[in-house]
Structure 1
């Protein structure tokens, strides 16, 4: 340890001695050479200290070796020499930042990011990329990209470092910057990974709609009119995969463009890209929502014939189709099959079955499924509670419906539908249970729902049947005042 300290101190004194000497024709160049030599010696000393000293003592020695800190350029040189020990390079970076030993710039960040990427330490590399994006608001993400490009070869980095940058931009909602970086890569004859391009398409679709995402798909994969047109800018040839097409189909489905989902499916088939279980699920969902359950079942059968095992999402999709079309027995059969195939039903499975039974008026079976759902600790959706409320009230079982609504309300995350209160209040008034209706109406207002004309009318009709003219007149005045405020 002593020789290393002595060398560092001697180097600094030599530099001071040179500065004190009288100027000569060669003093400037000599001083520059001495400074360079001193800097090189310091870099070597630090590297030696970090790689050969015990971990507990190296950091305290480092502080005394660099009392004036390290310039970013010196740090980058040290990090480069530590590139075969990326964990140590990261610890060194964090130490210099924590102890304010180096005022890091984009280049020192870039060097460390490359060292981490080269060692496949993706999570740590992304963490530093996020920081680099934050400390460089003036240069923007493209500036970070340019620095990474300039330092790429000397760091012997890994190409996916640019994928990590694009992913960080998307994470930070900097979609335009991510697009620009992808285009700059292509202009250099490079391309992000397919998974990164898929994320880019998805982000554009969410921000600007599925059609905008499709235009990006055509651009980055060189697709025109359903065919590949190569790479006019000389970018490396890259082909979409099944996840690309799944992303496009999902985005169009969420945008309500069912016909475009089928077009993407056809394009996937033309590209000789085999669909997977998610692909089939999206197409089945489109058919089920259009009421084309027969077509959805054909897709389900085709998937099974091809040996593609259904996951719970695929099961839930086809179960929803059968439930909504009134084929509840077929839906129940598939729900039982989920467990037989070693999968676990989800809350969505039970929701579909409950609504299916409600659709055919079999509320008793719906209640059995609901109890099973609660036993398995799945929280119901407000739409499911509303479906049972409507059917139970239609069968004059209003208090059962009220118990279910209040039972679900015990869950702090559950927010009932205002329509459910409306159905219950109207039914209570119809049956002449005015006190219960009033209490429920107060509870409804407490939940933030307003009393509407239908509810006023139900109360007025109920009190008229009871012969309570005073309440009828009072409610009519309130209803008139409410209408005037609305107008």
Structure 2
């Protein structure tokens, strides 16, 4: 459970605070009959005794532990020292000295949030959502119940709306998207605006789970409510455009772009890159270049993503020389190419049949330490096989497999086997075919035809006939 690891995760070696009262002053304390006196005593022990002695002293004062309401009252006295409040919580939890409920969890969460201890607050929130015990004794806590309890304890803890952003983030971490939506709706009904980063995360996850149209509806629900008269930021628009772009709904990307401009929200470099990617995918490189020049005119600083987008667009239509111009400009700007940059050029050179240049770029990519993607490997192997260079293709596959554990898709392996057969490299083709079988790829009719043609070309009619009979027997 996350809570057990909190102490080691969250705290470095604690700094010792000076002792304002001598330890002997506490040694004669007995458990007061007055609850408020008891709480004052515990707070005094926590704040003034050294860490090594305070816990033993508290154990002797309260051998039967604390009620959740008592913990909350003590923690509130420590709200300006959130680290100490968390240590007290961990100590009671670890030693089973408090049967914490949502109210005591919420008190601690408020204290951590107001102290801007975000990471610690998120851990406690996730634990509260997963396993906290409700007042009615149920073992599973609902996120909405956590929200209600946070609302009830909000004022007495002197909290801030930031705590609800943390709750939404914790729900999203636990993939409780529907609960996150409900919490946002309840905040909006109370005229509380979630942070932009929270809205971005929610819209992104709603888009991934339910599709970009649902993400767009969520955007309209949040910002169409005029909650706090807050206008959406460029990050919100970028989140929406990326969601529609990834789903291939290009017209919606352009529509959101126009909405962003209509609200006088200035696009940033990433915004331009998304719209450029749309034009590149549509093969409209004139429009993509126009955007590039608009960025230059507006002094928008180009980044690696922008360069990769325009380079990929020109490589995609076979204008590799134009892509090389942007690559040179990229270097002069002090930016290094990424794995994506290399992959664009590998595929671009293969597209125009320049496999020598593709091979040089690929080898440079490996020297730089980048791992090629499957599609890049497949395109390079196909390009080499089309040039009757199957042995080189096989060597590339061997190196990639040894270095990265890389495995090609079935189609590319078949293409490589057929390429070797066409070149008359039957021994190598057989070795590769055995490897395919060991990986679960059974030969199909294209593979049999390639071997039969290869053996016939070499005059080995007996082997070719044997393979024909084998095809008939297994029904390929």
Question: TM-score if structure 1 supplies the norm length?
Answer: 0.88
Aligned partners of 1:145, 1:189: CA distance in 2, in Å?
A: 16
Contact persistence 2:245–2:274 (CA under 8 A): yes
Give the equivalent residue in structure 2 for 1:204: 206
The answer to whether residue 112 in structure 2 is matched with residue 110 in structure 1 is: no
Unaligned stretches of 5+ in structure 2? 1-22, 133-138
Aligned partners of 1:317, 1:151: CA distance in 2, in Å?
A: 49
Contact persistence 1:326–1:359 (CA under 8 A): yes
The answer to whether residue 125 in structure 2 is matched with residue 129 in structure 1 is: yes
Shift of 1:382: 2.4
Contact persistence 2:347–2:358 (CA under 8 A): yes
Give the equivalent residue in structure 1 for 2:176: 174
What is the correspondence of 1:57-206 to structure 2 with a 5 Å cutoff?
A: 57-136=53-132, 138-206=140-208
Give the equivalent residue in structure 1 for 2:46: 50
Aligned partners of 2:186, 2:383: CA distance in 1, in Å?
A: 60
Aligned partners of 2:89, 2:405: CA distance in 1, in Å?
A: 44
- Residue from 246, 263, 266 that aligns with 1:271: 263
Aligned partners of 2:473, 2:271: CA distance in 1, in Å?
A: 55
Give the equivalent residue in structure 2 for 1:420: 412
Contact persistence 1:49–1:58 (CA under 8 A): yes
Give the equivalent residue in structure 2 for 1:33: none
Give the equivalent residue in structure 1 for 2:7: none
Shift of 1:481: 4.5
Aligned partners of 2:381, 2:69: CA distance in 1, in Å?
A: 70
Contact persistence 2:130–2:140 (CA under 8 A): no
- Residue from 344, 362, 365 that aligns with 1:370: 362
SS at match of 1:365: helix
Aligned partners of 1:149, 1:410: CA distance in 2, in Å?
A: 57
SS at match of 1:309: coil
Aligned partners of 1:473, 1:329: CA distance in 2, in Å?
A: 49
Give the equivalent residue in structure 1 for 2:220: 218
Shift of 1:69: 0.5
The answer to whether residue 338 in structure 2 is matched with residue 342 in structure 1 is: no
SS at match of 1:361: coil
Contact persistence 1:70–1:101 (CA under 8 A): yes
381-390 vs 250-259, which moves further: 381-390
Aligned partners of 1:176, 1:364: CA distance in 2, in Å?
A: 53
C-alpha distance after superposition, 1:351-396 (max 9, x if no partner): 1111111111111111221121111111222222222222222222
C-alpha distance after superposition, 1:163-197 (max 9, x if no partner): 00001111111011001111111112212112211
CA separation of 1:272/1:481 partners in 2, compared to 1, >3 Å: closer, same or farther? Answer: farther
Aligned partners of 1:357, 1:466: CA distance in 2, in Å?
A: 33
The answer to whether residue 291 in structure 2 is matched with residue 299 in structure 1 is: yes
Contact persistence 2:169–2:198 (CA under 8 A): yes
- Residue from 427, 431, 438 that aligns with 2:430: 438
SS at match of 2:30: helix
C-alpha distance after superposition, 1:292-348 (max 9, x if no partner): 111111111111211111111111111100111111112122223223222221111
- Residue from 295, 302, 312 that aligns with 2:304: 312
Question: TM-score if structure 2 supplies the norm length?
Answer: 0.90
SS at match of 1:451: coil
How many residue pairs match? The answer is 448
Contact persistence 2:384–2:393 (CA under 8 A): yes
- Residue from 354, 364, 380 that aligns with 2:346: 354
Aligned partners of 2:63, 2:432: CA distance in 1, in Å?
A: 74
SS at match of 2:156: coil
420-429 vs 467-476, which moves further: 467-476
Query: Which has more radius of gyration?
Result: 1
SS at match of 1:467: coil
Unaligned stretches of 5+ in structure 1? 13-37, 223-229
